[in-house]
Structure 1
Amino acid sequence: MSDIARQVDGTQPASLSLDRSLLRALPTPKVTFDHPEYSPVSSDDDNNAPAAPFVVALFELSKDQLRFLKLRCSGDRNPPTAVSTFQAVAAHAWRCACIARGLLPSQETRLHTITDVHGRLKPPLPPRYLGNAAVRISVTTKVEKLISHSIRYGAEHIRRVLNNIGDEYVRSVVDYVEVTGISRLPASGKLLRTDLRIVSWLSLQSYAGDFGWGEPIYVARPHFSGGGHGYLVRSPRKDGGVGLTLALEVDSMERFKQLVRQSAMVRPSEPTPQRRLWNSNLDLVVVRWHTPSVYFYRRARILNNFFDAAVLEAALARVLVQFYPVAGRLARDEDGRIEIDCNAEGVLFVVAEADCTVTYFQCGGVALGVGMQHYVADGYTGINFINSWANLARGLPPTIRPFIDRTLLRARNPPTPSFPHVEYHPPPSISTEVISPSPTSNKATATVVRMFKLTPTHIDELRARVPPGSPKFSLYALVAGHVWRCACLARGLPADQLTKLYIAVDGRQRLKPPLPDGYIGNVILTATPIATADEVIAGVPEAAAKVQGMLARMDDKYMTSALDYLELQPDLSALAKGPHTFRCPNLGLTSWARLPIHDADFGWGRPAFMGPGGIAYEGLAYVLPSPTGDRSQSIAISLQAEHMDEFGKLIYQI
């Protein structure tokens, strides 16, 4: 219509399909599914009560906020679960609404929506079918389950229900309506206070209606029949964002706003260099994910502004001025190589009540979670970024002065590797079946993460296992050898099974000349001792010797050769670490023992604990220092569930 109004050349009214008998019920209706969304609303007192006063608000979510929501819906899965924009936003809004309304954990809650069925029928409806071709859908769960889990729980429920909507289901709806009778169906505007209804307009060309005076600046529904109704539309700015227009009870809306909006893109507080930052080969072979870490803080009794979000956000904006690549975005150069576009778009800062950046607990404590894109930073860089952020929050200078030039790690010209660099070769595969779960066990593919503390007594016992007169082993070599040995035993590896241990080695001080202290980027190379299982399980000294022997090779000559080796590889992405790298029969053990992971004092004290926020891959582990400096170390490790129980016993059998 708008094209005709503007007299666009060649515009003709669209040829429509007017045959609505395509959606006629069967002569003998056949209802093959339950359709609770079309069931009459129960007549209890709550439902018969007058509708509560409600207000309408618009919530805008940027492209980056949507990306963050989808990341939370995917969790630690690799590859991430495909989550649509509707599923992510609807799950977030549904969960926030349950909390804002103060629903009881035992109550049942439903998310209602409608879905277009043009393409779900067989054969599909004609593209220009004129008529209603949408069915009601509802997703049901208990409030307790929805709010005690992350939004991934709700998103997965929504996705499963929508994926089941096919031709048979739609035909069942048509026949159900025929059998029930239109007059007996509940009006779609009637909602229980426990429920939410969100309709997606994302697939509609909402902003194409230009009658000659420009496109509309916003499109929305003019009337809402009650609280709990919402509509999701694309941003008129065409910037990848969306807008959620939601009606909610007056007494719940303010709380809902706090929950759904407690996120912001924090940008550098001052102008920063606008440039493209070249990534070294070491930046391009890291694990492709955001490295999650979490800090737990106990509440200080005498402080009233404990973990003030405004203080944290302001300090974050200041630290991004100096660590400006962190506020950029990944991009590709003309050759397709990944680089960092230092465009100051900012980082996502979230304050919430569960699984977000800053989480407040009822006991008064706080959890601070940070996800650092591994292309941007390794552990040393990431820890110094967080510690500098903490220092600025309490009026101190950053811990380091960032050095932002990754060309220091360019390969030689011409590249001349002098070692075979087995660390980049494919890992050994399992040659025979290891300890297997029973066919009916759910542990067949499940992995679990656990943490084991090695006390000073355990450390001393490890040292005592080394025979007199033997070479002196570093503490890391002893701990790594012990963990490697326990993993081989717990997995039940046969004696001749090859196993590879991946050890992250910081090259900053091993290269000649050493890199500047403030070098920002990945300087992690990998030492990979390889042995048969019987060689590893022979004893702690034997396993530690293999670890220490490989670490001794990691000097300037070896590391420079590694840079040259990577330069000659046609596809660095093929060498990137992932779930295939560490899984049985192999292991990865990264030590944070020498990193200042407990120095992040934002003004309210040091963290009571710091560690990985999740371990995505089976066979990956971390060594953590004690927060109290008592010489103890903790091992955070991910293993197959069937192997973890045995590992937990072996780790203390020194």
Structure 2
Amino acid sequence: MSETTTPLIKFTVRRCEPELIRPAKPTPRELKPLSDIDDQEGLRGQVPFIHFYRGDAKMRNKNPASVIREALAKVLVFYYPFAGRLKEGPARKLLVDCSGEGVLFIEAEAYVTFEQFGDALHPPFPCLDELLYDVPGSSGTIDSPLLLIQVTRLLCGGFIFAMRLNHTMSDGQGIVQFMTALGEMARGATTPSTLPIWRRELLFARDPPHITCTHHEYDEIEGKIIPSDDIIQKTFFFGRTEVSALRRFVPSHLQNCSTFEVIISSIWRCRTIALQPDPEEEMRMICMVNASVKFKSLVPVGYYGNTFAYPVAISTAKDLYNKPLGHTVELLRKAKSSVTEEYMRSFVDLTVIKGRPLFSVVRSYYVSDVTRAGFDLVDFGWGKAAYGGPAEGGTSFRSFYIPFKNLKGESGIVISMYLPSVAMEKFVKELNKMVVQDNDHQVLNSRL
């Protein structure tokens, strides 16, 4: 495990006035309801993504902002709900008014080169508020643009594509589908290779809705989340060496567990020790499961709405301290395997019965795995992104599990952690205990 650092750079960004990009052709004017997964409270917010592209000699006479602006108008003919605005109906039901008002777009240029960002491209990114300008009045859920895109040209010929998504419209996989189509149109296609399918009614609650499974993600728990004052952030790299070291603590009958399960089990244990909760308190790990991948019959190819479930692994703090890592791995695997098609139907019904609530975050931690989403594969004509994915590292109760290549060219995973300063010191110490394999091998800061 090595700690990575974000270069401290400052630069000036010159922006053009924000503009609304409308579909290139007339599109249907209709009200389209979101699914009963889409409009739950936890998704009623904005999520930023960012892509870094190096300059390409064959594209030196092309302005990436112009290319993407033109492609955006074309792709919105197919994804026209993104050009609309959300309305709220009875029982807090969200609907898209497909008004064709458009997507917010900003062209900008930054007086900085790609190299000044350093080779360690991962969140958090310096000057994100400059690379993704929050247009006043644009960040609400209701009656606000559903997408905001900023294309910032760099001095070296590269550029940065940053986007903010209203999360009710899509999850990571859904927005990658949209961005892939945008890239295809930018490269000259007239039709996306995967045609978008709305069909949000496939994830409506049953009539009448009825809960048939246990859903700990919506337990009502007394307590407070980690306070935001004194929070510090560190980002950690897990390569082959670190994962191999962590696997030493996994019993033989669980050696087929995934790298994700090994890393996240270790982090959950070390984070719990660092926070020093009452030993009898229940600690919770929310295990996100993409149901559209697990159950191909649930939604069709081309569906771009939210399809994640949030099963929870639960353990007392003392068991996380004292029991072998296999205990934690088994809890995670059991939670993920609990997601069946019936679980998904019950989950959708519960959100309606309980008024579309926010899942519980008290004594909870969850990690979003974006390794298979394909963010880095989006190509606007300048090749694949040097980095593509979340623009922010997370919060005190959430992290992203992001593919990364370190300065030595080694592929692995980076995870950002947000903890109070005292807890962070303990977290680093505990995690180092697990990855240091001998007294002479100090890995902290050695694998950047």
Name the TM tier (shorter chain): 0.7 to 0.9
Match of 2:238 in 1: 454
Match of 2:165 in 1: 372
> Are 1:552 and 2:328 counterparts?
no
* One-letter amino acid of the structure 2 residue matched with residue 472 of structure 1: N
| Number of equivalences | 384
Match of 2:105 in 1: 349
> Are 1:576 and 2:358 counterparts?
yes
> Are 1:613 and 2:397 counterparts?
no
* 1:601 to 1:630, Cα distance in 2 relative to 1, 3 A: farther
| In structure 2, distance between residues paired with 1:275 and 1:514 | 25
Match of 2:286 in 1: 502
| In structure 2, distance between residues paired with 1:381 and 1:582 | 24
Q: TM-score, normalised by structure 2?
A: 0.78
| In structure 1, distance between residues paired with 2:274 and 2:317 | 11
* 1:428 to 1:358, Cα distance in 2 relative to 1, 3 A: farther
* 1:428 to 1:336, Cα distance in 2 relative to 1, 3 A: closer
Instruction: Please state how far the C-alpha of 1:565 moved relative to its aligned partner.
Output: 2.1
SS class of match (2:253): coil
Match of 2:95 in 1: 339
Which ranges of structure 2 fall in alignment gaps of 5 or more residues? 1-8, 111-129, 133-149, 436-448
> Are 1:415 and 2:209 counterparts?
yes
Instruction: Please state how far the C-alpha of 1:421 moved relative to its aligned partner.
Output: 1.2
Instruction: Please state how far the C-alpha of 1:408 moved relative to its aligned partner.
Output: 0.6
Instruction: Please state how far the C-alpha of 1:638 moved relative to its aligned partner.
Output: 3.1
SS class of match (1:529): strand
Deviates more, 1:318-327 or 1:607-616: 607-616
Match of 2:76 in 1: 320
- Structure 1 residues 65-91: Cα deviation after superposition (integer angstroms, max 9, x where no partner): xxxxxxxxxxxxxxxxxxxxxxxxxxx
User: What are the within-5 Å matches in structure 2 for residues 42-61 of structure 1?
Assistant: none
Deviates more, 1:366-375 or 1:299-308: 299-308
Which ranges of structure 1 fall in alignment gaps of 5 or more residues? 1-144, 151-258, 435-442
Deviates more, 1:298-307 or 1:600-609: 298-307
Match of 1:81 in 2: none
* 1:344 to 1:471, Cα distance in 2 relative to 1, 3 A: same
- Structure 1 residues 67-116: Cα deviation after superposition (integer angstroms, max 9, x where no partner): xxxxxxxxxxxxxxxxxxxxxxxxxxxxxxxxxxxxxxxxxxxxxxxxxx
* 1:388 to 1:533, Cα distance in 2 relative to 1, 3 A: same
| In structure 2, distance between residues paired with 1:302 and 1:149 | 27
User: What are the within-5 Å matches in structure 2 for residues 48-127 of structure 1?
Assistant: none
* One-letter amino acid of the structure 2 residue matched with residue 576 of structure 1: L
- Structure 1 residues 158-197: Cα deviation after superposition (integer angstroms, max 9, x where no partner): xxxxxxxxxxxxxxxxxxxxxxxxxxxxxxxxxxxxxxxx
| In structure 1, distance between residues paired with 2:222 and 2:230 | 21
Match of 1:518 in 2: 302
* 1:646 to 1:364, Cα distance in 2 relative to 1, 3 A: farther
> Is residue 622–residue 637 contact of structure 1 (8 Å, CA) maintained in 2?
no
Match of 2:351 in 1: 566
Match of 1:282 in 2: 37
Instruction: Please state how far the C-alpha of 1:350 moved relative to its aligned partner.
Output: 1.0
Match of 1:305 in 2: 61
Counterpart selection for 1:476 from 250, 257, 260: 260
Instruction: Please state how far the C-alpha of 1:637 moved relative to its aligned partner.
Output: 3.3
* One-letter amino acid of the structure 1 residue matched with residue 234 of structure 2: R
| In structure 2, distance between residues paired with 1:464 and 1:420 | 33
Counterpart selection for 1:595 from 354, 360, 373: 373
> Is residue 266–residue 317 contact of structure 1 (8 Å, CA) maintained in 2?
yes
| In structure 2, distance between residues paired with 1:361 and 1:650 | 41
* 1:395 to 1:555, Cα distance in 2 relative to 1, 3 A: same
Once the two structures are aligned, what percentage of the paired residues are identical? 26
- Structure 1 residues 36-59: Cα deviation after superposition (integer angstroms, max 9, x where no partner): xxxxxxxxxxxxxxxxxxxxxxxx
- Structure 1 residues 373-409: Cα deviation after superposition (integer angstroms, max 9, x where no partner): 0111111111111121112111245252111120011
Instruction: Please state how far the C-alpha of 1:568 moved relative to its aligned partner.
Output: 1.9
| In structure 2, distance between residues paired with 1:364 and 1:582 | 43
Over the residues paired in the alignment, what is the CA RMSD in angstroms?
A: 2.8
> Is residue 582–residue 617 contact of structure 1 (8 Å, CA) maintained in 2?
no
* 1:307 to 1:475, Cα distance in 2 relative to 1, 3 A: farther
SS class of match (1:415): coil
Greater RCO (Cα-Cα under 8 Å, separation 6 or more): 2
SS class of match (2:87): strand
* One-letter amino acid of the structure 1 residue matched with residue 416 of structure 2: A
- Structure 1 residues 230-262: Cα deviation after superposition (integer angstroms, max 9, x where no partner): xxxxxxxxxxxxxxxxxxxxxxxxxxxxx4534
User: What are the within-5 Å matches in structure 2 for residues 20-39 of structure 1?
Assistant: none
- Structure 1 residues 183-217: Cα deviation after superposition (integer angstroms, max 9, x where no partner): xxxxxxxxxxxxxxxxxxxxxxxxxxxxxxxxxxx
Counterpart selection for 2:177 from 375, 384, 408: 384
Instruction: Please state how far the C-alpha of 1:480 moved relative to its aligned partner.
Output: 1.6
Counterpart selection for 2:195 from 401, 406, 413: 401
| In structure 1, distance between residues paired with 2:92 and 2:217 | 25
Q: TM-score, normalised by structure 1?
A: 0.55
Counterpart selection for 2:412 from 632, 635, 647: 632
Match of 2:325 in 1: 540
| In structure 2, distance between residues paired with 1:349 and 1:487 | 40
Instruction: Please state how far the C-alpha of 1:468 moved relative to its aligned partner.
Output: 2.0
* One-letter amino acid of the structure 1 residue matched with residue 171 of structure 2: D
* 1:389 to 1:568, Cα distance in 2 relative to 1, 3 A: same
